Chain A
């Protein structure tokens, strides 16, 4: 292939490679992956360091995130920056690094999953993959579309597969969805039911950018147009998958930590302010997230701090609080206090 051919852009893109990167086998390698993500995204998105951390954490924990924020707060920029970090080292399959789906009420499931199309030349149907066939999918304003489309999306998220015309097609192992929704403009929306919210590992409530960060954003806006930091190292798809495995096996979760996590969940179920407590699935999902966060804090073990930091994100959208209760966060804080204290004291015991 030459520079002139139509595929040349694709082939020369920095997002593909055909030479595999050296495999990641230890926590240092995984830490390198984290650092590369972090550096690149931080260069693109200013004043959102916490959210960036959470998103990387979810990516390494093989979970999806739901961003809830006002328009223009950098959701899309963040998702795009994340997609920009990835290099597809299997360029020959149908899966690309990044896709964005803007959900609207008239969207159809096939618009998401892809559909079979009749080819008059061959007299055969062939499958035209939808935007979910990507490593990173930005599902923008997911609550604006009909439940039918939502459920198609959610099947992909939960099972990492789509079914079109009774044929199930596998998505990539690295399938990461960043969904967004607008918390205020709820007219004509289809709020996600709690069963579907359960499929998101984290629900991140983004807040307005701080003043200093906002100033910096303005100051660096021009520079960022010119792809500042685009020369920073990227991460290949395989590296992310390897890092996931390393994290799962090499970051230690002490039994006391598991106890603490379970106790938090139990407490949410016991709390009279909570109608529906944390699900067991959420605990299963939480484990890799805790491990990933531990790694991102340069620890080879999960500590109470990870639970404290992630509980709100993990359980916040899963708890259904009784009417009249102001915030889930305060309930969660109460539920966490006693297990966390026990875990903290355990460290001082012989």
Chain B
């Protein structure tokens, strides 16, 4: 009696363990797809499915009946769940939420119940099919990892959050869960199957494991790297870290332009940064490279805070005393943001910075933990540059400056320290204010002279505050998002881009004749420091007499002088000076694009050349190559000086310092360019879809992609399954022809039973083989010999006499003949077409 109890206990135990493994699988699959109700339902479904499957497998119910019944149940539940939400009556009766919950409960519960039940019954009745069960759980776990590959892990949030909170790597935790569930099943498999079958199953398991590792590729990838396949480091909803815009110019090196904005926001940069500037302008500043409030703070602000802190700490290192409170704040803001390599997004609101700045205007700036570390990090970040947008050119256009200037904002208003975006509506009317909701023309359109019409499409990889286009843009209109999983939005731009050669610009008058005197004065306003005028005059005096009055000649002369005399480096720090531009110009002459642009504009303005700073992206025309795709990267952020010439409008006249102290940037990845370009050209699946928040959108997109893929794959899977069934059938039919030795008895008998099963003649549950043969003896007399031989080989000791192959094959042929005599042709044809008739043979 105790034995019976024990075996019962072991059955209960193994069922419980199986149920647990199935639950893990259900969780793994359900996490990303369903709600809490659905998860609960799938858990219950898995448990009951395993329990009932175990029970059914031990019952006398035919396998085909179980499979058919389960399929019917699933269809019923599916139809019910559809029904619950398809009509208004049920939601009206029980409330929309309840109806939805019911539908989810039915759908997921029934799905898990039916699938686990079928798997369990199959595995229990046909021992070899245990592999199916194992594969299902493994696949579920693998699916989880596949969605978490490359370290981009999202779900289950509670698990990964917990893992983070206790300092574990979530990938490893998930890996542990997966390995655990598969191990449980594997151990069960080995315990319940002795001998060669367990071995073969183990080999299959190992193969599955290798497959899993290949699919997941999670091992060795615990730390999220800056780039995934597309260089897009985007945990859903978070824009990638924005690099400090880079002064590529001719130097082509990355630079931290954002320092200015960051400084300004912090109010620590007393020179270029304007401590007294309002929060709004600070945010807009950030828009030059960084866009949303969060990304401004995190992307643009945080590293800059660190850098600046570092710089000014360095500068003021002799001061020695930096307030520890501030230091902590600065460190917290910068280092935590950066050390995790891309997970930075510590929301630092510009307003808080400016408050801090205002409050502590005179206090020493925060200092980073280590200057060296800071710069190392900075360099690393410069090397990692992620795409921000894709520009598709419809017209062939090569700018005379050999670089695409994608203008987002313009800084023209002098606030006493530096230039900021205008606050007056009549100025800079060629700058778009926000994204187009419909086709819109900007109030100011450049003249056609010296300019060519360029149509292009901009697809944003990360959200920006303001649209941008090739300089000279006058028309914006919204466009379909070509690939919502990659791009956050897209719009079309028409630009009248500069086509006139620079040398043909000489001799033109500066400014627009339609400008009011106030406007002209606005574009000439600069610092009162007389040194600017003096320096500008000195420079202009070096050019030939007849050219000295020509505004463009003056501008070019100053540009060339700046090219020769300034030294490019992103490590330059002038934020602590009252006038950072002067600090640079008459100091160490080291700086980057923002400093240079300010220097140029201040010098130009001092000699009466109307000018402003354009900010946005600068992409080397070489990067485009022969393709029509221009990839805009975070490292392309830039600010450049522009002059206004009569007839042609704003002309970019960038400063390209000849001396550069920064390491060269990374070359353009052409594959990446083509890939992204391809994506941007694709037609969107659903053009009507309203723009959503990126996280939701990505989730929905993922779910929809999965659903679509499943729908697409379903008929093929069905066909594949059908083919597999027919394949097994054919194999079982043919294998007696070439089997030798003792095994022939079994396979010959099996093929005879297959033939009988097709004709609907099957052994009853609990019926012995002899009894079965006796029952059908009238119709199928040849079966007896086959059954006897099969049993003899199995039961008559270790080395049974091999059966007479000739006789067995004859008997099989006889069985076929006898069946064809006993059953009508249509019944046999029906059986022949039945793909799973052999499942009833056991």
| Cα distance, A252 to B792, chains bound together (Å) | 10
- Judge if B658 is at the interface, Cβ distance under 8 Å: no
Q: Digitize A313-348: 1 where CB-to-B-CB distance is under 8 Å, 0 elsewhere.
A: 000000000000000000001001110110111111
| Cα distance, A344 to B790, chains bound together (Å) | 10
Whether B766 lies near A338 (C-beta < 8 A) is yes
Given contacts A308-B771, A341-B60, contact A347 B766 (CB under 8 A): no
| Cα distance, A333 to B765, chains bound together (Å) | 12
Given contacts A305-B768, A336-B766, A347-B769, contact A299 B788 (CB under 8 A): yes
Of B197, B763, B769, most A-chain CB atoms within 10 Å: B769
Q: Which of B3, B794, B797 contacts A347 (CB 8 A)?
A: B794
Q: Digitize B181-205: 1 where CB-to-A-CB distance is under 8 Å, 0 elsewhere.
A: 0000000000000001100000000
Residues on B with C-beta less than 8 A from A350 are 196-197, 743, 746
Whether A344 lies near B763 (C-beta < 8 A) is yes
Whether A269 lies near B4 (C-beta < 8 A) is yes
| Cα distance, A341 to B767, chains bound together (Å) | 7
Q: Which of A301, A336, A341 contacts B791 (CB 8 A)?
A: A301
Whether A301 lies near B796 (C-beta < 8 A) is yes
- Judge if A90 is at the interface, Cβ distance under 8 Å: no
Residues on B with C-beta less than 8 A from A276 are none
Find the B residue at minimum CB distance from A255: B795
| Cα distance, A162 to B437, chains bound together (Å) | 114
Q: Which of A257, A300, A305 contacts B770 (CB 8 A)?
A: A305
Whether A302 lies near B795 (C-beta < 8 A) is yes
- Judge if B682 is at the interface, Cβ distance under 8 Å: no
In whole Å, how far is A291's beta carbon from the nearest beta carbon of chain B?
Answer: 12
Given contacts A252-B797, A348-B842, contact A269 B1 (CB under 8 A): yes
Whether A252 lies near B796 (C-beta < 8 A) is yes
- Judge if A236 is at the interface, Cβ distance under 8 Å: no
- Judge if B633 is at the interface, Cβ distance under 8 Å: no
In whole Å, how far is B736's beta carbon from the nearest beta carbon of chain A?
Answer: 14
| Cα distance, A307 to B771, chains bound together (Å) | 12
In whole Å, how far is A300's beta carbon from the nearest beta carbon of chain B?
Answer: 6
Q: Which of A266, A303, A307, A337 contacts B765 (CB 8 A)?
A: A337
In whole Å, how far is A339's beta carbon from the nearest beta carbon of chain B?
Answer: 9
| Cα distance, A338 to B61, chains bound together (Å) | 12
Q: Which of A270, A301, A337, A338 contacts B795 (CB 8 A)?
A: A301
Whether B127 lies near A349 (C-beta < 8 A) is yes
Residues on A with C-beta less than 8 A from B197 are 350
| Cα distance, A340 to B796, chains bound together (Å) | 17
In whole Å, how far is A150's beta carbon from the nearest beta carbon of chain B?
Answer: 31
| Cα distance, A164 to B570, chains bound together (Å) | 122
- Judge if B750 is at the interface, Cβ distance under 8 Å: yes
Given contacts A337-B766, A341-B60, A348-B842, contact A252 B795 (CB under 8 A): yes
- Judge if A17 is at the interface, Cβ distance under 8 Å: no
Residues on A with C-beta less than 8 A from B4 are 266, 269-270
> From residue 273 to 289 of chain A, which have CB atoms closer than 8 A to chain B?
none
Whether B788 lies near A254 (C-beta < 8 A) is no
| Cα distance, A305 to B790, chains bound together (Å) | 14
Residues on A with C-beta less than 8 A from B796 are 252, 254, 299-301
Residues on A with C-beta less than 8 A from B842 are 345, 348
Whether A344 lies near B768 (C-beta < 8 A) is yes
> From residue 1 to 44 of chain B, which have CB atoms closer than 8 A to chain A?
1, 3-4
- Judge if B260 is at the interface, Cβ distance under 8 Å: no
In whole Å, how far is B513's beta carbon from the nearest beta carbon of chain A?
Answer: 97
Find the B residue at minimum CB distance from A253: B795
- Judge if B58 is at the interface, Cβ distance under 8 Å: yes
Given contacts A266-B3, A346-B794, A349-B127, contact A340 B788 (CB under 8 A): no
Residues on B with C-beta less than 8 A from A345 are 842
Find the A residue at minimum CB distance from B769: A344
Whether B768 lies near A301 (C-beta < 8 A) is no
In whole Å, how far is B350's beta carbon from the nearest beta carbon of chain A?
Answer: 73
Q: Which of A303, A336, A337 contacts B769 (CB 8 A)?
A: A303
- Judge if B305 is at the interface, Cβ distance under 8 Å: no
Dominant SS among interface residues on chain A:
helix
Whether B768 lies near A303 (C-beta < 8 A) is yes
Whether A299 lies near B766 (C-beta < 8 A) is no
Find the A residue at minimum CB distance from B128: A350
Residues on B with C-beta less than 8 A from A336 are 766
Whether A348 lies near B797 (C-beta < 8 A) is no
| Cα distance, A307 to B788, chains bound together (Å) | 15
- Judge if A304 is at the interface, Cβ distance under 8 Å: yes
In whole Å, how far is A298's beta carbon from the nearest beta carbon of chain B?
Answer: 9
| Cα distance, A338 to B769, chains bound together (Å) | 14
- Judge if B473 is at the interface, Cβ distance under 8 Å: no
- Judge if B841 is at the interface, Cβ distance under 8 Å: yes
In whole Å, how far is A11's beta carbon from the nearest beta carbon of chain B?
Answer: 45
| Cα distance, A300 to B769, chains bound together (Å) | 16
- Judge if A256 is at the interface, Cβ distance under 8 Å: yes
Find the B residue at minimum CB distance from A303: B791
Whether A256 lies near B795 (C-beta < 8 A) is yes
Find the A residue at minimum CB distance from B801: A300
| Cα distance, A340 to B768, chains bound together (Å) | 7
| Cα distance, A346 to B795, chains bound together (Å) | 10
| Cα distance, A252 to B771, chains bound together (Å) | 20
Q: Which of B768, B790, B794 contacts A308 (CB 8 A)?
A: B768
> From residue 742 to 795 of chain B, which have CB atoms closer than 8 A to chain A?
743, 746, 749-750, 763, 765-771, 788, 790-792, 794-795
Residues on B with C-beta less than 8 A from A270 are 1, 4
In whole Å, how far is B720's beta carbon from the nearest beta carbon of chain A?
Answer: 25
Residues on A with C-beta less than 8 A from B768 are 303-305, 307-308, 340, 343-344
In whole Å, how far is B729's beta carbon from the nearest beta carbon of chain A?
Answer: 16
Find the B residue at minimum CB distance from A346: B794
| Cα distance, A172 to B502, chains bound together (Å) | 132
Whether A305 lies near B769 (C-beta < 8 A) is yes
Q: Which of B60, B746, B765, B792 contacts A348 (CB 8 A)?
A: B746
Residues on B with C-beta less than 8 A from A304 are 768-770, 791
Find the B residue at minimum CB distance from A345: B842
Whether B770 lies near A348 (C-beta < 8 A) is no
Residues on B with C-beta less than 8 A from A341 are 60, 765-767
Given contacts A348-B750, A349-B127, contact A340 B790 (CB under 8 A): no
| Cα distance, A350 to B195, chains bound together (Å) | 11
| Cα distance, A307 to B746, chains bound together (Å) | 21
| Cα distance, A98 to B170, chains bound together (Å) | 87
Given contacts A303-B795, A305-B769, A341-B765, 11 further A-B contacts (CB under 8 A): A254-B796, A254-B797, A269-B4, A303-B769, A304-B768, A341-B766, A347-B791, A347-B795, A348-B746, A348-B790, A350-B746
Q: List 13 A-B contacts (CB under 8 A).
A: A252-B795, A254-B797, A256-B795, A266-B3, A299-B792, A299-B796, A300-B792, A301-B796, A305-B769, A337-B765, A338-B766, A340-B766, A347-B794
Interface residues of B (CB under 8 A from A): 1, 3-4, 58, 60, 127, 196-197, 743, 746, 749-750, 763, 765-771, 788, 790-792, 794-797, 841-842
Closest 10 CB pairs of A and B: A337-B766, A301-B796, A305-B770, A254-B795, A304-B768, A301-B795, A305-B768, A252-B797, A347-B794, A341-B766
